Amino acid sequence: MIGYRIRQARLAAGLTLAALGEKVGLTHTAIQKYEKELLTPPSSQLLKLARACGIRVEYFFRTHQVELIEPEFRKLSTFGKTAQEALKIKVVDLVEKRVELLGFFPESPIFRFESPTGLLESIQTLDQIEEFADQVRDAWKLGLDPIGDLTDTLETLGLLVIVVDEDNPAFSGLQATARTADGRTYPVVAVSSHWPGDRQRFTLAHELGHLLLEGRLDNEINEEKACNRFAGAFLAPKAAVIQCLGPLRRALEWQELLAAKHEFGLSMGGWLQRAKQCGVISESIHVGLYKRFSVNGWRKNEPGEAVPREQSRLFEQLVYRALSEKYITESKAAELLGIPMMQFHKERQLESMDAVAHQ
């Protein structure tokens, strides 16, 4: 078991046998023997290995095993096989912590993820996705307002949202099913922690589209396009777009798009698309605006302040809930949050916040 874990940690850190060996002062064959469990590393060595891989030593001993089934990447082709494997390991590590935490509760504190009932069963055109997205929002009682915390909204609905530290810009997102050793399954979506909030949100909504649209799309429809359309319609529903920009426009000001971007957490480029999709501007006006948008270099970097990154608070909240109900100990809580015991103790008493308030 421990050998497998060492290998996982090494791959997640993107290290070769030799590179890890060098970091901890061992040969690559010694590392290989650990991984094949021909040798058992002493605890001092385990500590070094953990440090070299950028993880906590508990990782080697965690018993909960999670497997990712049918992972689907949203990425550029430059995000190759090795990078994908390393990313999967990081995601599994984070999923395992959540599954472990959920396991401490006598009754699950989150819903079991389900596709709402009564959604359009078969979709023949991309335009029908507008109605479909409205149905999803209705079923989840999200109204027409912007979704402030997409991550927390989805997590409460039973989706495991993983914001993973991946700085390779070729990676956008991942959707998979996590299966635990005892046969429980959870849908998982992962996004990079390095992207601005609007891009993370679009990716999350796109991945949600894959989950919900599965089995409903006509063969003629490109699934990726359908999921993009869903993402836009879910983040900014047609009625809200029309309310925000007006029903029929001959032009749009950049400032309008920028304001809408911050209100709904959907990029300016995304809003330009939505304006066309919802019939606010004609195809030809869209072409003209999009040309200027591209010439300004905004397809790569949009102007103005970035949308704040998505943050999941649910995991931390549940750690404290479990602690308060005495389902877990303080040291377990610190371990799950990945912070030293001393620091955790201070945070639990809100001491660090006092210090800030008194300054």
Binders of Zn ion in range 223-252 (CB under 5 A): 224, 227
Tell me how far apart the alpha carbons of residues 209 and 94 are, in angstroms, rounded to a whole number.
23
Q: Closest distance between Zn ion and the C-beta of residue 32, in Å? A: 37
305: number of Cβ within 10 Å: 10
Q: Which is nearer to Zn ion, 59 or 202 (CB)?
A: 202
* 66: three-class secondary structure by DSSP: strand
Q: Which is nearer to Zn ion, 106 or 215 (CB)?
A: 215
Binders of Zn ion in range 37-76 (CB under 5 A): 74
Q: Closest distance between Zn ion and the C-beta of residue 147, in Å? A: 19
Q: Closest distance between Zn ion and the C-beta of residue 300, in Å? A: 21
Return all residues near 136 (Cβ < 8 A) that are at least 6 apart: 116, 119, 212, 234
Tokens of 87: 């990313």
Separation of CA 223 from chain center: 20
Q: Are 218 and 124 in contact (CB under 8 A)?
A: yes
Tell me how far apart the alpha carbons of residues 194 and 169 are, in angstroms, rounded to a whole number.
8
Tell me how far apart the alpha carbons of residues 237 and 252 are, in angstroms, rounded to a whole number.
18
Binders of Zn ion in range 70-109 (CB under 5 A): 74
Q: Closest distance between Zn ion and the C-beta of residue 71, in Å? A: 12
Tell me how far apart the alpha carbons of residues 32 and 116 are, in angstroms, rounded to a whole number.
48
Q: Which is nearer to Zn ion, 85 or 224 (CB)?
A: 224
Q: Are 208 and 191 in contact (CB under 8 A)?
A: no
* Residue 198-227 contact track with Zn ion, rule CB under 5 A, x = bound: --------------------------x--x
Q: Which is nearer to Zn ion, 186 or 202 (CB)?
A: 202
Q: Closest distance between Zn ion and the C-beta of residue 316, in Å? A: 29
Tell me how far apart the alpha carbons of residues 359 and 78 are, in angstroms, rounded to a whole number.
48
215: number of Cβ within 10 Å: 8
Q: Which is nearer to Zn ion, 127 or 224 (CB)?
A: 224
Q: Closest distance between Zn ion and the C-beta of residue 322, in Å? A: 34
Q: Which is nearer to Zn ion, 58 or 224 (CB)?
A: 224
Provide the binding-site residues for Zn ion, judged by CB under 5 A. 74, 224, 227
